Amino acid sequence: MTHYLYLVRHGEHLDAEHGLEDGPLSPRGRRQAELLADRLSGVPLTSVWHSPLERAAETARAVSERLPSVTPQPSALLFDCLPTGMTPDTPVVYEPFFGSHTEAEEEAGRAQMGDAVVEFMGRKSGAHELLITHNFVIGWFVREALDAPQWRWLTLHQAHCGLTVLAQRGGRPWTLVSHNDMAHLPVELRTGLTELPPV
């Protein structure tokens, strides 16, 4: 039996370009979520989890409207967070980014993602779980699956409602099946990718 994790960054939220940290989905974000649901319609999902932040919760609701067999559940382990601070092998080009965050934020994020990996990557096989969360969180899960250096989550960006799939069969190592797949999104709905790590 294989355990699948379908990792999705929330849809675009309203007024994100004005610096608001959270909010409801924009009309474009709503359409992204609907197309994601269509894409997942043939997947035998066993559970849907989402970050408690409004943009992720609303994305989950939009998906569940089209996939009524699953009921989304919030998980604090999927909150937006900073998985690490600067590590000895982190390229110095990232120092300005980390300079805007506190050690307390980094410690909290590190603890959260440690628990999230145990919770979602340590389950028994046979599950098909959809996790609707945030860019950094998905980057950390992918980094974990690839056993990459800790700082590499910084280089693993996701578009709004892009689809990343991880799989593990019978105790074998996790496999990255796809990363940031946007085939279900027309070009005008492929938003969220920037040169700096987006949240």
Q: Are 62 and 37 in contact (CB under 8 A)?
A: yes
Give the pair of three-digit tokens for residue 199. Answer: 């949240």
Query: Where do the domains of the chain lie, and which CATH numbers do they carry?
Result: 2-80+124-189 (3.40.50.1240)
Question: What is the pTM (predicted TM-score) of this model?
Answer: 0.93
Dihedral sign for Cα atoms in the order 98, 100, 103, 105: negative
Residue among 77, 35, 70 at smallest CA distance from 163: 35
* Per-residue confidence in pLDDT tens, the chain, 199 aa: 899 999 999 999 887 555 567 788 999 999 999 999 999 998 999 999 999 999 999 999 999 988 888 899 999 999 999 999 999 999 999 999 888 889 999 999 999 999 999 999 997 778 999 999 999 999 999 999 999 999 999 999 999 999 999 999 987 999 999 999 999 999 999 999 865 444 4
Please, how many CA atoms are within 13 Å of residue 199, restricted to the half-sphere of its CB?
Answer: 15
Query: What is the phi-psi region of residue 170: left when phi exceeds 0, alpha when psi lies from -120 to 50, beta otherwise?
Result: left
Task: Give the relative orientation of helices 135-146 and 103-121 as an angle to the nearest 10 degrees.
Answer: 60
165 bridge partner residues = 6, 178
Per-residue exposure over 87-124, b if at least 16 CB sit within 10 Å of its own CB, e if not: eeebeeebeeebeeeeeeebeebbebbeebbeebeeee
Q: Which residues contact residue 46 at a Cβ distance below 8 angstroms, ignoring those fewer than 6 apart?
A: 70, 126, 127, 128, 129
- Which pLDDT score is estimated for 171? 77
> Quick one: CA torsion of 33, 35, 39, 42, rounded to 10 degrees?
80
Which contiguous run of DSSP H or E holds residue 181? strand 175-181
